[in-house]
Amino acid sequence: MQDDLLDTYAHKTVERHRRGVDLRFLTSQSLFSSNTVDPGTNLLLRAIGKHLEQPVEHCLDVGCGYGAIGLSLSASNLTRNVEMVDRDALAVDFARRNATANGIDSAEAHTSLGLSDALRGRYDLIVSNLPGKVGIEILGHLLASSAGRLMTGGQFWGVAVSPLWRDIEKMLAELLVETFHVEHAPRHTVFGIKCDSPRHLELPEDLLADVYARGEVGFVVSGRTYAVGTSRGVSEFDGLSYSTQLVLEQLYGMRNRRLPCAVVFNVGQGYVPLALKAAAAAGTLQLVDRDLLALRTTERNLRSNRLSEPAPGLHNQVGWLPGGAANYGLIVGTLRGDEPRQAVEIGVISVIDRLEPGGVGIIAGGSTPITRLQKLVQSSKEVQVTDRSRNRGASVISFQKQR
């Protein structure tokens, strides 16, 4: 099922040929540079190939996407081991698939917020195609944490869109690192820094509060206001979407229903899980999201509002439901804008299958995909549609499994 689900996200296969090394990367439109290997990536790899005197033992690729940088370095024998990290589980799955497809067994991939979940203490080489829209605070933390994780003689190589270079140059000056290479192209700048001795840098301990924090909003449930700390790059940082509002209206109608275990997928900032714990007195929550930042933001908001007992299950993955065969009394979530139609269909079928007798499914999104979803639900003899509501282009559907 997981392979079938990933296949729905596949867009095309792109190729990279360099000095006798031929690689093919399966891409997804939900990931960066899906139509071709990014020119900045090619510029970065050429620069590293020219300046790296010998293969390194341990390399870390931060924000790996579908794996173009890390796998190219491995295939070119510039590193013996490469660890690829990204906060998006879809990127990690595609990087793993591309490693297998290219016969590269010295590469591993897993989710991480920046370098916070990297497996090793220090690295000989850290590389990154720096994201252009994450904000200066996050970019600065990525550079500082990379400098602090280099071995003696280790190098960090980065590429960024040219308008960011002035800010990056100031950050590097503040870090007191040696910038030994800068190369400007029309749209990108590649740079290399090195560390002659291991350094300890004072970095923020709470990434969600000190680096990713966007602000705090009040969220009213049953007459009580809860403080929701929002994170940059996660949807609904300034308030509830119409889809979430529709979901909450459905949940408030279930206040008297006993919910020992429920699933929330695509959790965002955590409004739906908060409402479930505060208004519906739900028991154990299973939280599912591709985005590791969304999961940790939601977990933090539950904890800060004293709604985290029993501890929720966190599932950083593609797909709506945790692995295993457990059934649930409630499965609720909103559609992501980049979910392929076939992925949504697989999700709906899995929800119907995993609801316990009498269990309720609630799914919201744009009116067009929800209309398609409703037709699929109505074709099933196992569930019955109980409600369909609309609000300014958004819709929600509720359905219940036959007892």
Q: Do the strands 355-366 and 394-401 form a parallel or antiparallel pair, or are they unpaired?
A: antiparallel
pLDDT for position 122? 94
Distance CA 263, CA 253 (A): 17
- 267, 273 Cβ separation under 8 angstroms: yes
Domains defined along the chain, listed by start: 2-195 (3.40.50.150), 213-401 (3.40.50.150)
**Along the 403 residues of the chain, how does pLDDT read in single tens digits?**
577 899 999 999 999 998 778 999 999 999 999 999 999 999 999 999 999 989 999 999 999 999 999 999 999 999 999 999 999 999 999 999 999 999 999 999 999 999 999 999 999 999 999 998 888 899 999 999 999 999 999 999 999 999 999 999 999 999 888 999 999 999 999 999 998 777 777 788 789 889 999 999 999 998 899 999 999 999 998 889 999 999 999 998 887 677 889 999 999 999 999 999 988 777 899 999 999 999 999 999 999 999 999 999 999 999 999 999 899 999 999 999 999 999 999 999 999 999 999 999 999 999 999 999 999 999 999 999 999 999 999 999 999 999 8
Distance CA 100, CA 396 (A): 39
**Nearest Cα residue to 264 out of 281, 247, 242:** 247
pLDDT for position 96? 98
pLDDT for position 283? 84
Chain centroid to Cα 52, Å, comes to: 31
DSSP, collapsed to helix, strand or coil, labels residue 281 as coil
Chain centroid to Cα 333, Å, comes to: 16
DSSP state, residue 88 = B
pLDDT for position 199? 73
